[in-house]
Amino acid sequence: MKQNAQAKILFTIILAISCLIGCSQQLQKRVDDADSLKQSLARLNGVYTWQADIQRYDFSAKSELEKILSGTPPKQVVEILIECLDDTSSSASVLNEKRVFLGIVCYEGLSQLVYYEPTDATGDIDTQWPGFISPTASPQEMRNAKTEWKKAQTTNRLIFQ
């Protein structure tokens, strides 16, 4: 009887260790996927130009960006992009010949994949939502955008395009 109990304990320990190893490997893969995606986005040679007719910046490398993003499952890529929104490392993409932050390119990718329609206190569309950022965004604006996108994600209010 004692041997049977010891065998059960040993089996439980082995199972727990196996689960920990599996979870660790899965977590490492997600980190590697995120790093790989961010490196690809950082190397993307896009150009932001002001479009007066639509009153916003246009990004020249949208099709290349879509190809990069399509290599990762949509929910996972959205998580990575939201986490990247406040990344102030330099990217190869430019605005007025000056490199933009990687977080700006991540925002570009996020806005191509998901849609979110924020509302203000009256229920109208909030055009001043801090989650909307431009290529000229400051690091603080990028941090605020990340916070807002995380809230939208947590409340399951993102619409995949």
Domain hosting residue 51, numbered range: 31-160
> Is residue 130 in a domain?
yes
> Is residue 53 in a domain?
yes
> Is residue 16 in a domain?
no
Rounded distance between C-alpha atoms, residue 33 and residue 29, angstroms? 6
* The pTM of the whole model exceeds 0.95: no
> Is residue 2 in a domain?
no
> Is residue 52 in a domain?
yes
For the cut 70, the answer to whether the pLDDT of residue 122 exceeds it is yes
Region label for 100, one of left (φ > 0), alpha (ψ between -120 and 50) or beta (otherwise): beta
Total number of domains in the chain: 1
Predicted pLDDT of residue 13: 66
Read off the pLDDT of residues 76-110 as tens digits, 9 standing for 90 and up: 999 999 999 999 999 999 999 999 999 999 999 99
